[in-house]
DNA sequence: GTCTATAATCGGATAGAC
DNA sequence: GTCTATCCGATTATAGAC
């Protein structure tokens, strides 16, 4: 934490930022090392130099400081009667912060076109989300996949497709619209 | 309708079927003319010969006999108190038929990674679905984008991600789970 | 640390022979 | 109708100079 590190740091971070943006805009398949390098203002070979293969660049770019286990904790701990609104609050907050927003966009776009990423996401949902939350809240797993599907659809419609009037709605309007739905999914 | 047409037809249809499958599995960006030709067992040049550019192949492959206006009619006409289940029945039926299933898969995968397709989908939803249905049923447009988002999310989770236990659930279980949600979106 | 050069593929599209 | 041959561009990745 004391003193700044020499040279390298800046370029490396530039590449990482460019990667997050490119993967977010185009997904794994659509983004290119060359595109990332161009946006970062460096040579394509440098991207490989710092992060290795495209796979590894992807992992590095998406390694954002959001701990899923903590999120699950936050959700399962609080009062049950407003769990829908609480989840939406967390969700919308993550979509408001640029870093997590880019991460989520990248994941959605990649899941839709890349079998490998889709496999990872499926595993993550089944093992880290649906399983634990189902036990913690004593809900049928099917209910939680319902909630997950609505979260996916909301992200898709509001942030990827940007269909109106949903895209321009305020966060409060979104909470009012989707609150009852998530409350339903989390009520036995 | 009387008598069968000569030669050409078979190969042309083979290419079209292969195109539907490839676009469904990989989306617009991921599918290749060469991949389509290989699956159809023909030369890549033939694909161009019959359908022109990749854009035109895409349009031809997705030109499936589903009239959106008719679907909207079906939904807005019937009784209001079971509209959720009726929509789900139509929806699941379309995902059961191979041709429409491939079409929908292609659209979802392409929307997520292709700005042009996303634009078309956005326009379609706003002008052909949300607008008309909102007027016909006297519902706020925002409600209908909510329903659309849930439809997208259901398709994504069940058919693209195939997350369990949703992917293996029966249609009846899906109707039981999502029925109340769609009913909510379609109730003022 | 940064870049040039290049290998090895793969992509869409076209011209033109048969 | 069907295919061979080919153009031209873009991609990931590596080797190695400076």
* Bases of chain D within 7 A of a CB of the protein: 1-5, 10-16
Quick one: residue B41, left, alpha or beta (phi over 0 = left, psi -120 to 50 = alpha)?
A: left
Task: Note the pLDDT of residue A63.
Answer: 85
Q: What is the pLDDT of residue A9?
A: 66
The predicted structure's pLDDT at residue A68: 85
3-state SS assignment for residue A3: coil
pLDDT at A65: 75
Residue A8 has a pLDDT of: 57
Distance between CA B106 and CA B60 in Å, rounded? 12
pLDDT tens-digit readout, B81-136: 999 999 999 999 999 999 999 999 999 999 999 999 999 999 999 999 999 999 99
pLDDT at A181 over 90: yes
Q: Note the pLDDT tens digit of each residue in A68-77.
A: 888 889 899 9
Question: Helix (H, G, I), strand (E, B), or coil: what is residue A4?
Answer: coil
Least Cα distance to B159 among A117, A149, A28, A110 occurs for A149
Contact list in B for residue A105 (CB cut-off 8 A) is none
Q: How far is CA A36 from CA A28, A39, A43, A105, in A?
A: 12, 5, 9, 16
Rounded to the nearest angstrom, the minimum Cα separation between B74 and chain A is: 23
pLDDT digits (tens, 9 = 90+) for B50-75: 999 999 999 999 987 788 888 888 89
Q: Which nucleotide minimizes the distance between its C1' and the CA of A9?
A: C1
> Pick the residue with more confidence: A64 or A101?
A101
The pLDDT score that the predictor gives to residue A88 is: 97
Helix axes A141-155, B141-155, angle to 10 degrees: 120
Percent of chain B scoring above 90 in pLDDT: 86
Give B8's pLDDT tier (boundaries 50, 70, 90).
low
Whole-number Å distance between alpha carbons of A130 and A40: 38
**Which of residues 18-37 of A have CB within 7 Å of strand D?**
31-35
Length of chain B: 188
Gap between the Cα atoms of B25 and B169, Å rounded: 22
């Amino acid at each position: 934490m004391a003193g700044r590190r020499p040279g390298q740091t800046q370029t490396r971070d530039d590449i990482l930022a460019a990667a997050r943006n490119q993967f977010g805009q185009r997904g794994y398949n659509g983004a290119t090392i060359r595109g990332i390098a161009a946006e970062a203002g460096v040579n394509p070979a440098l991207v490989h130099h710092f992060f290795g293969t495209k796979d590894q660049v992807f992992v590095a770019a998406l390694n954002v400081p959001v701990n899923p286990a903590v999120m699950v904790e936050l959700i399962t701990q609080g009062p049950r009667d407003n769990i829908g609104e609480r989840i939406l609050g967390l969700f919308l907050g993550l979509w408001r912060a640029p870093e997590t927003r880019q991460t989520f966009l990248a994941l959605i776009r990649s899941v839709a076109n890349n079998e490998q990423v889709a496999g990872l996401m499926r595993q993550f949902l089944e093992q880290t989300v649906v399983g634990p939350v189902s036990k913690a809240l004593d809900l049928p797993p099917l209910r939680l996949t319902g909630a997950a599907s609505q979260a996916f659809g909301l992200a898709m419609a509001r942030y990827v497709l940007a269909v109106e009037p949903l895209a321009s709605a305020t966060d409060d309007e979104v909470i009012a619209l989707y609150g009852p739905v998530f409350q339903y999914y989390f009520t036995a």
